[in-house]
Amino acid sequence: MKNKKYIPSLFIVLMLVVQAFAQPTAKAILDKVDKNMSADNMISESSMTVHGKRNSRTMTSKTYKVGDKQSFTEYLSPAREQGTKMLKLEDKLWIYAPSTDRTIQISGHMLRQSVMGSDMSYEDMMDDRKLTDIYDAVVIAEEMIDERNTYKVEMIANVVDVTYYKRVVWVDSERFVPLKEELFAKSGQLLKQTTLKEVKKIDGRWFPTSMVYKDMMKQGKGTEFNIISVKFNQDIPKYIFTKAALKQ
């Protein structure tokens, strides 16, 4: 009798050990996410549709990025936004408005303001650091999202200069891109939610080309981002990342 009970118990233990080793660590998962989502440099064109309480409006823009320290965005449409430019250098952000021909620096509490009336703040746009550099993470479950197997990863900030103390992300277990993310305050309040779709293989990496970003503190149906085109590892002239380029 003892042997009969011992064998299935041993089998269960072995299965648990196999499963434990089969599942990658949270750091390994996020390293793969960063490899897909980050690049030494990138040029992209995108559309941003802000779904307000009563109507929606769409803007298009072109963005140049080098690492997580430099980015330059120029709005292409509609006419009233055309020529508006944003420059990020390290932790500083400047905006040029052609209607006033003025360049202003966004800093302090102003960083919490909405970008072009969207659900994204300037703080959201500024922080492009790798997740593994600023969060401690653990896999807390495996769940299905849009018929895809995902790892549910919980991240807690290990630095003080972050906008969101806790993040929960559902990562596609095959392609290693985020399909959903929830962003929390230290109090535990859900502040924002993101869903990512239209995952495509571009230059050897999986990359989501459609995203809906929802500020849970605002009314409306959120802000939809769609990537029109994206190119990685391009030769970007250095002059683009200068304040002089804002008025050109």
How many whole angstroms separate alpha carbon 166 and alpha carbon 188? 8
How many whole angstroms separate alpha carbon 139 and alpha carbon 134? 16
**H-run or E-run covering 20:** helix 2-22
- pLDDT of 8 > 70? The answer is no
- pLDDT of 17 > 50? The answer is no
Residue 11 — pLDDT band, cuts 50, 70, 90?
low
200-232 per-position pLDDT tens digit? 999 899 999 999 999 999 888 899 999 999 999
- pLDDT of 10 > 50? The answer is yes
pTM of the model: 0.85
- 30 forms beta bridges with none
Is-cis flag, bond preceding 208, omega within 30? Answer: no
- pLDDT of 3 > 60? The answer is no
Q: Give the Cβ contact number of residue 73 at 10 Å.
A: 19
Give mean pLDDT, residues 179-192. Answer: 96
26-68+106-234: CATH topology is outer membrane lipoprotein receptor (LolB), chain A (2.50.20)
* Residue 75, pLDDT score: 96
73-129 per-position pLDDT tens digit? 999 999 999 999 999 998 899 999 999 999 999 988 888 899 998 999 998 888 777
Only one residue has tokens 């535990």, namely 188
206 by DSSP, 3-state: which?
strand
Q: Which two tokens stand for residue 130?
A: 């790798």
- pLDDT of 42 > 80? The answer is yes
The strand pair at 92-97 and 190-202 is best described as unpaired
Higher pLDDT, 13 or 27: 27
How many whole angstroms separate alpha carbon 37 and alpha carbon 123? 19
35 by DSSP, 3-state: which?
helix
Percentage of the chain modeled with pLDDT above 90 = 69
Q: Give the Cβ contact number of residue 244 at 10 Å.
A: 9
How many whole angstroms separate alpha carbon 177 and alpha carbon 173? 8
What is the rounded average pLDDT for all residues in the chain? 89
- Name the residue among 228, 240, 230 with its Cα closest to residue 48: 228
The domain ranges of the chain are 26-68+106-234
How many whole angstroms separate alpha carbon 174 and alpha carbon 153? 15
- Backbone φ and ψ of 247, nearest 5°: -100, 5
- pLDDT of 1 > 90? The answer is no
**H-run or E-run covering 168:** strand 166-172
- pLDDT of 167 > 70? The answer is yes
Give mean pLDDT, residues 62-71. Answer: 92
